[in-house]
């Protein structure tokens, strides 16, 4: 179930669902998603579905990973992206192949430690990790040309808006956990922020405070 043919079927499905960025599709094609899930779930790795990774977290549906990556890159290449929620490291691995530098924050240390190992195994070395509260972002290294948030926030954290560079783009799910959530694209413009609602989604909640 981890054969190249199985992966190609996933790529075809993503394309049919509207993902058109060739670089995004190629990054997903060459990234072994089965390495980012438990061995017992490896046979489901190339299904277009979210899967559990422990600690009440999931590896996102491939379509959502592709869609959010594509939205981030819609206005052109990015050199500095902040990811909130390393999780399994799968979205991190995709981003690392699409942008110059990724700065990834995760509150659950054991998940981030595993993600680091996977990215080293794949020789993806343009990612810097921080164990901490994603709601705070990573202010010391701000501003960022792109910010991607892989958990739902009840509202957009002000700290993340503050860390977005002029012209920078943020893709974030917003809404109450377990209820109606919307994916949003926020762009920092000359006199404030533009916001675009992109449709209904379902993500695990963005929580405060680091967890060992």
**Which positions are catalytic?**
60
| Residue pair 107/149 in contact by the 8 Å Cβ criterion | no
The interaxial angle of helices 62-72 and 22-30, nearest 10 deg, is 140
> What separation in angstroms does the CA of 169 have from each of 72, 174, 185?
6, 15, 7
184: helix, strand or coil: strand
Q: Taking the CB of residue 195, how many other CB atoms lie within 10 A of it?
A: 13
Sequential DSSP letters for 16-60 = HTT---HHHHHHHHHS-GGGGS-GGGGGGTTSSS-EEEETTEEEP
Residue 151: burial class (beta carbons within 10 Å; 0-12, 13-18, 19+)? buried
């Amino acid at each position: 179930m981890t054969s190249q043919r199985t992966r190609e079927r996933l790529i075809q499905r993503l394309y049919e669902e509207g993902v058109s960025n060739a670089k995004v599709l190629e990054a997903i094609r060459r990234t072994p998603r089965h390495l980012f899930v438990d061995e017992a779930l490896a046979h489901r790795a190339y299904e277009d579905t979210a899967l559990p990774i422990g600690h009440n977290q999931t590896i996102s549906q491939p379509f959502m990973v592709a869609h959010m990556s594509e939205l981030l890159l819609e206005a052109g290449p990015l050199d500095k992206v902040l990811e909130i929620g390393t999780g399994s490291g799968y979205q991190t691995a995709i981003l690392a192949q699409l942008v110059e530098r990724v700065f990834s924050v995760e509150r659950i240390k054991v998940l981030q430690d595993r993600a680091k190992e996977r990215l080293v195994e794949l020789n993806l070395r343009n990612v810097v990790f921080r164990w901490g509260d994603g709601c705070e972002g990573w202010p010391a290294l701000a501003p960022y040309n792109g910010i991607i948030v892989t958990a739902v926030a009840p509202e957009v954290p002000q700290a993340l808006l503050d860390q977005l560079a002029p012209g920078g783009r943020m893709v974030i799910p917003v809404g109450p956990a377990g209820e109606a959530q919307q994916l949003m694209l926020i762009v920092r413009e000359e006199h404030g922020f533009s916001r675009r609602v992109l449709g209904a989604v379902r993500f695990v909640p963005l929580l405060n405070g680091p967890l060992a």
